[in-house]
Structure 1
Amino acid sequence: MQGYVTSFGLGFVAGMRNMTACAALAWAASEGRTRGNLIPAGPGARMLATGAAIAEMAGDKMPFAPDRRIPPSFALRIAVGAFGGWALAGQRSSPEVGALAGIAGAVAGTLLGRAARGPDSRTTPGRAKGLAEDAAAVGLAVLVISSAGRQPRTTDAIFRARGT
């Protein structure tokens, strides 16, 4: 069950701050906490993803920032949630169910984050809510990654661990 909770949590982060979820996955991969070896785990990938997350947080406060619920943005959040859910599903968990949990988390994070934030990011209270959402996304990402279990790094190791 723990693997699905981390999958849902990473999806929720993707719904709030998509690039924060990507950065969390890069950091998780560097600690061996992701399934397989599809996620770049080197220091360059971690710094690039972390920089993109910071840029997304800054851009989110701009008056021209698009609504997270528009189809391209929503679809990308769902895709990151699905992939992240798959990658963080525990070693004894179904990766497909992990992906579904990630999708559910991304939908919930997108809709609840937007509802909590409100429609206006151009005002001081709107920016303050955005900063609070940034902090919540980073805090949840750290919590999710720290609770994710270590995983085999290769596909062969995954099949050996499952006995298939």
Structure 2
Amino acid sequence: MLASLLIAAVSGMRAMTPLATVANAARRGELPREDGTPALLAHPLVSAGTLALAAGELAGDKMKTAPDRIILPGMVARVATGALAAASLAPRKQRTLAAVLGAGVAAGASYVTFRARAAAMRRYGQTATGVVEDAVALGTASLAVRAAR
């Protein structure tokens, strides 16, 4: 369940990174099949699509016009991807619990990381803090997938 909670926390920072990480791991066959990661995530088009969306989000986050992550559409995306990614990394019998916890963790992490980023931006600027946050998000997502193996 730790992997599920980690990947959900990443959703608080970047909505598409967790889904792209899980989809690509599923496509490469790196996730346990007995846990039943949704086959749709392993499809090459889904994997490529989530990667493209994640790359766009990483680039868009550095723009001055990027909306706050805690606005309603952003929160809906983070909660949804947090729940789906968390459930995908959980053992089959714990999927529902993982999805519920994942949604909550994603929502909570959104607010925590929003406040932390806002404070850091005042000192270091938007681009520098965004790059650091990207590195934390990508590293944590990779760690979560490795923990799920």
Q: TM-score, normalised by structure 2?
A: 0.85
Aligned position for 1:157? none
Instruction: Describe the superposition over 1:73-110 as per-residue Cα deviations: whole angstroms up to 9, x where unpaired.
Output: 1011111111111111124x411111122112202321
Q: For residue 87 of structure 1, what is the aligned residue in structure 2?
A: 88
When you count helix as a share of all residues, which structure comes out higher?
2
- Residues 131-140 or 103-112, more deviating: 103-112
Q: Which residue of 2 aligns with 1:50?
A: 51
Which position in structure 1 is the counterpart of 2:142?
142
- Which stretch of the first structure deviates more once superposed, 68-77 or 96-105? 96-105
Distance in 2 (CA, whole Å) between partners of 1:40 and 1:86 is 12
* 1:1-150 correspondence runs (5 A): 4-30=1-27, 31=29, 33=31, 35-91=36-92, 93-118=93-118, 125-149=125-149
Can you give the 5+ residue segments of structure 2 that lack an aligned partner in the other structure?
A: none
Q: Report if the CA contact (8 A) 1:62-1:121 is conserved.
A: no
Deviations 1:118-154 (CA, angstroms, capped at 9, x unpaired): 07869962221111000000000100011113xxxxx
Rounded to whole Å, the distance in 2 between the matches of 1:51 and 1:122 is 30
- Name stretches of at least 5 consecutive residues in structure 1 with no aligned partner: 150-164
TM-score by length of 1: 0.78
Structure 1 outlier segments of 4+, above 4 Å: 119-124
Q: CA RMSD for the aligned pairs?
A: 2.2
Partner SS state of residue 68, structure 1: coil
Answer with 1 or 2: which has the greater Rg. Answer: 1
Counterpart-to-counterpart distance in 2, 1:39 and 1:129: 34
How far did 1:40 drift? Answer: 2.9
